Copies of this chain bind each other. A is one copy, B any other.
Amino acid sequence: MSFDVLQDKIRAMKNPTVAGLDARIEYVPEHLRQNAYAEYGPGFQGACEAIWQFNVGLIDALHDIVPAVKPQAAYYENLGWRGMELLERTIRYAKSKGLFVIADIKRGDIGSTAAAYAEGWLSGAKIEGRVFKSFDADCVTLNGYMGSDSINPFLKAARQEDKCVFVLVKTSNPGSGELQDLVAGDRQVYQVMGDLTQRLTGGTEGKYGYSIAGAVTGATYPSDIRALRKRLEHTFFLVPGYGAQGGTADDVKCAFDKYGHGAIVNSSRGIMCAWQKTGSDGTNFAAAARNAAIAMRDDIKQFVTIL
């Protein structure tokens, strides 16, 4: 069971955080960009090479500090098919370094279309009866607006491969309430989404007793996280919004259970772009990211004790 693997990694490192790998060319230090452009030109190919060098540096610097990374598919897709090739390579490299990879894809479609996504990201494509893997992440994020038809095919693929998913429940952005906070009967829409997801999983699994579908719950709405933690006792939480978006360690603590289990907190810019705050030219980007990841770990450890 994949959340067991993640929870074990978190316990081993005493660090319930995940580092975002958001491939924006603006985040890459000058020297990596110039080297890549010199070889491949200042277009898609050069940008992908620069980001690849950046990602490798980040993964090498972080893999013994953080248990997981979260590449955001949008930034790779932004660069066309070359960006998607870079994403495949980045996931493969991160896994080779022992990192748990959460592909932040937020996909949502139905039936055989959802199955096609699920195969591409989790269980592999079927071509003439054989299975071929491409993106092959450990876990993906999902959007369930279309209902259970959009979640079930991913649960099937995840189960087959001992993987897992996170469904968007209450997101961290300012406008998240426009739909998610609507009150329908005795529940808000995001609570319905959380309940629905749990019903589909068919119960808990593995030694830690989590269900195969976790929930995305934004750090910027701590009281909602607190309510969800009580409501969804056996659900693993992915918590975005720490740092740049305004969520604090004190805010995220309510995502964890009394053993300090069951949640992982994301930081993207805070770690990737730490070099920009050192006043340097970026040649120190890996060390700066490592220091920022350690600082984040220690910040959260003030509020969360992992047993």
Name A residues whose Cβ lies closer than 8 Å to a Cβ of B: 22, 24-25, 33, 37, 42-44, 46-47, 72, 74-75, 77-85, 87-88, 106-114, 116-117, 119-121, 125, 127-128, 130, 132, 134-135, 143-150, 168, 171, 173-180, 182-185, 189, 192-193, 196
Q: Tell whether, in the assembled complex, residue B81 and residue A85 are in contact, meaning their CB atoms are under 8 Å apart.
A: yes
Q: Which residues of B contact A24 (CB under 8 A)?
A: 112, 116
A33 and B129 alpha carbons, distance in the complex (Å): 13
A81 to B86: give the CA distance in the assembly, Å: 9
Using CB atoms, name the residue of chain B closest to A196: B178
User: Which B residues are in CB contact (< 8 Å) with A179?
Assistant: 144-147, 189, 192-193, 196
In the assembly, how many copies of this chain are there?
2
Give the chain B neighbours of A110 by CB distance below 8 A: 171, 173, 175
- Those 7 A-B pairs whose CB atoms lie nearest each other, nearest first: A80-B134, A147-B175, A182-B184, A147-B178, A81-B85, A81-B84, A74-B116
- Residues of chain B within 8 A of A143, CB atoms compared: 106, 108, 143, 145-146
Taking a contact as CB atoms closer than 8 A, the residue among B22, B74, B79, B135 that contacts A80 in the complex is: B135
Q: List 6 A-B contacts (CB under 8 A).
A: A44-B127, A81-B88, A108-B145, A146-B173, A150-B173, A189-B189
Question: Is the pair A174, B149 in contact by a Cβ cutoff of 8 Å?
Answer: yes
Query: Contact: B42 with A128, CB < 8 Å?
Result: yes
Residues of B within 8 A of A87 (CB): 81
Q: Is there contact, CB below 8 Å, between B149 and A119?
A: no
Q: Note all chain B residues with C-beta closer than 8 A to A149.
A: 173-176
In the complex formed, the residue of B with least CB distance to A168 is B145
Given A42-B127, A179-B189, 14 further pairs, Cβ under 8 A: A22-B113, A24-B112, A25-B127, A33-B128, A44-B127, A44-B134, A46-B127, A74-B107, A79-B134, A81-B88, A84-B84, A146-B179, A146-B180, A149-B175
Among B43, B74, B177, the residue within 8 A (CB) of A120 is B74
Q: Which B residues touch A22, using CB under 8 A?
A: 113
